[in-house]
């Protein structure tokens, strides 16, 4: 290189390799096309433009997803099977099992003893839905709920099952449900994230009960679509507050200077992630004023706290998070994800399940009723469920007043409320042993397709091209369960 070349190096674009050129060109063209098709996450409040992905009128503006991590026992909560009492302790018939695979935790058992529930069931409401004695508050709102007793999944272990439920694929690396919603619809509130995550630890949770941040991650979607996890201690979002000695006007000047630098870099790199980073900085700045008001519960009435239960005044509990979910819904946050850990009852199910239901029964029912009283249930879709169910047979020894249940993906129960879902109905049926679906099966992909449909999104059109392939939440599967809809 000559001295002249050293004084005047060629522009960065002229130094691109062939791979870099095509990679950046693809990103640039994709980002331009995307910006013309989809609303920005920081768009002004109001109804977003759904023209790119929707061909149907939305019935719901937002989703509140109550996820019971670990797999609640449908046999002990919703799927009443009184006839199996006469088979108590007998080996599960081969004709029922049908050669289906078992987890490593029970595949070595000499017998699979049929285990009826220890808990009483009764019919409730005008719809006559069966609910266990463990959920007395849920029993009072059954006429607002739609029970799906025929959910099923191929996954039989926690991580792939939760990952499938939350991302549409058993292996990590796909965007989460909330990220797809953020990408496809956008935010209706410039002051808060489009996708908020709230975590709580159940009374029966054990140390080996992990939740990974990738479950609310954006994977290959732009990173501004990932979920924002609110903490119960200290700053609700890490590094949201200004450091000591830094004034708000100084922070504003810093962000303006940083945005200018990022925009210069974006002009050279044409990288959508740089635009996402700028948007995230701006959202964080706005959240400095919006989040404290959101979390200030002083304006809530004593009757509201009473409705959600005594733990609703304790930050980080499921009850407190349900109350916070209602406040987020009032502020039009698009996707609100609550995780409650501790539902993996391989042993001591009667005692542990009672504790878990004590955590969630009253606040979940209060959330549905509170939304209805405030006129928000019509356009808020509430989902309650886990990644799979539990087996009809006992894991380990069956005792007179104690038992455990292994993972079971062949059938489990979720319930839905609001957002254009038919209230007071029970969809699907399992066999006499509660082991197989015998009527109206609903796969995980079908559920996700139906939830997207209620948001006004055609699930087959909500796609993102990555590494030469069009990806979507429902992969190449999914059918809308129209019998669930009003």
Going by C-beta distance under 8 Å and a sequence separation of 6 or more, which residues neighbour residue 361? 134, 135, 136, 137, 138
- What's the DSSP call for residue 157? S
In whole angstroms, how far apart are CA 124 and each of 79, 143, 283, 356, 414? 14, 8, 45, 21, 17
| Helix, strand, coil content of the chain in percent (nearest 5) | 40, 15, 45
- Give pLDDT tens digits for 433-484: 999 999 999 999 999 999 999 999 999 999 999 999 999 999 999 999 999 9
Q: How many degrees, rounded to 5, is the angle at CA 181 between CA 192 and CA 326?
A: 50
Of 299, 301, 313, 421, the C-alpha closest to 372 is: 421
Output the six-digit token pair for 350: 């009667």
Output the pLDDT for position 12: 46
Output the pLDDT for position 7: 44
pLDDT along the chain (486 residues), means of 10: 44 45 46 41 38 75 98 98 97 94 94 98 98 98 98 97 98 97 92 95 89 96 93 74 74 75 80 77 72 87 97 96 97 97 97 98 98 98 98 97 98 98 98 98 98 96 94 97 98
In whole angstroms, how far apart are CA 230 and each of 239, 290, 291? 12, 13, 10
pTM of the model: 0.85
In whole angstroms, how far apart are CA 428 and each of 254, 422, 432? 57, 14, 13
- What's the DSSP call for residue 227? -
Strands (E), 144-279: 145-152, 195-201, 228-230
Q: Which helix (H) or strand (E) holds 381?
A: strand 380-385
User: Read out DSSP for 97-153?
Assistant: HTT----TTTTT-S--BB---SS-EEEETTTTEEEETT-HHHHTTGGGEEEEEEEE-
- What's the DSSP call for residue 302? H
Output the pLDDT for position 384: 98
Output the pLDDT for position 47: 37
Output the six-digit token pair for 37: 């098709």
Output the pLDDT for position 271: 80
The backbone torsions φ and ψ at residue 381, rounded to the nearest 5 degrees and listed phi first, read -100, 115
469-471 and 464-466: which strand pairing?
antiparallel
Residue 107 CB-density burial (10 A; 0-12 exposed, 13-18 middle, 19+ buried): exposed
Q: How many degrees, rounded to 5, is the angle at CA 354 between CA 387 and CA 307?
A: 90
Cα(17)–Cα(28) distance, integer angstroms: 16
Output the pLDDT for position 239: 64
Residue 67 CB-density burial (10 A; 0-12 exposed, 13-18 middle, 19+ buried): buried
């Amino acid at each position: 290189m000559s001295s002249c070349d050293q004084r005047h190096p060629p522009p960065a674009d002229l130094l691109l390799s062939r791979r870099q050129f095509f990679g950046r060109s693809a990103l640039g063209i994709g980002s331009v096309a995307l910006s013309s098709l989809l609303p920005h996450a920081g768009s002004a409040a109001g109804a977003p433009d759904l023209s790119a992905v929707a061909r149907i009128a939305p019935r719901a503006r937002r989703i509140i997803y109550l996820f019971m991590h670990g797999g609640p026992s449908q046999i002990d909560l919703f799927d009443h099977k009184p006839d199996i009492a006469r088979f108590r302790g007998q080996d599960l018939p081969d004709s029922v099992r049908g050669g289906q695979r078992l987890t490593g935790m029970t595949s070595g058992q000499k017998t699979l003893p049929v285990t009826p529930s220890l808990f009483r069931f009764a019919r409730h409401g005008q719809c006559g839905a069966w609910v266990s004695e463990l959920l007395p508050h849920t029993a009072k709102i059954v006429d607002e709920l739609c029970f799906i007793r025929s959910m099923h999944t191929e996954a039989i272990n926690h991580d792939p099952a939760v990952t499938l439920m939350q991302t549409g694929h058993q292996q990590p690396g796909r965007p989460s449900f909330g990220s797809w919603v953020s990408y496809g619809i956008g935010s209706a509130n410039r002051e808060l994230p489009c996708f908020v995550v709230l975590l709580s630890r159940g009374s029966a949770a054990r140390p080996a009960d992990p939740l990974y941040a990738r479950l609310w991650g954006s994977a290959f979607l732009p990173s501004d679509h990932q979920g924002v996890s609110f903490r119960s201690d200290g700053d609700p979002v890490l590094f949201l507050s200004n450091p000591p000695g830094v004034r708000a006007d100084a922070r504003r000047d810093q962000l303006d200077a940083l945005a200018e630098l990022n925009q210069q870099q974006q002009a050279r790199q044409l990288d959508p992630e740089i635009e996402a980073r700028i948007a995230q900085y701006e959202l964080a700045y706005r959240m400095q004023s919006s989040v404290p008001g959101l979390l200030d519960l002083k304006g809530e009435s004593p009757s509201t706290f009473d409705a959600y239960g005594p733990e609703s005044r304790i930050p980080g509990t499921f009850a407190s998070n349900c109350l916070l979910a209602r406040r987020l819904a009032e502020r039009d946050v698009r996707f609100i994800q609550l995780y409650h850990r501790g539902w993996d009852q391989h042993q001591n199910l009667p005692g542990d399940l009672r504790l878990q239901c004590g955590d969630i029964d009253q606040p979940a029912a209060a959330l549905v009723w509170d939304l209805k009283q405030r006129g928000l249930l019509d356009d808020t879709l509430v989902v309650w469920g886990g990644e799979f169910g539990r087996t009809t047979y006992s894991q380990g020894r069956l005792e007179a007043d104690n038992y455990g249940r292994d993972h079971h993906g062949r059938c489990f129960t979720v319930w839905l409320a609001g957002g254009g879902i038919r209230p007071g109905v029970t969809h699907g049926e399992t066999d006499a042993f509660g082991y197989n679906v015998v009527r109206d099966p609903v796969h995980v992909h079908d559920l996700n397709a139906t939830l997207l449909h209620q948001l006004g999104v055609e699930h087959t059109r909500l796609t993102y091209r990555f590494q030469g392939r069009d990806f979507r939440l429902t992969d190449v599967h999914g059918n809308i369960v129209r019998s669930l809809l009003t």
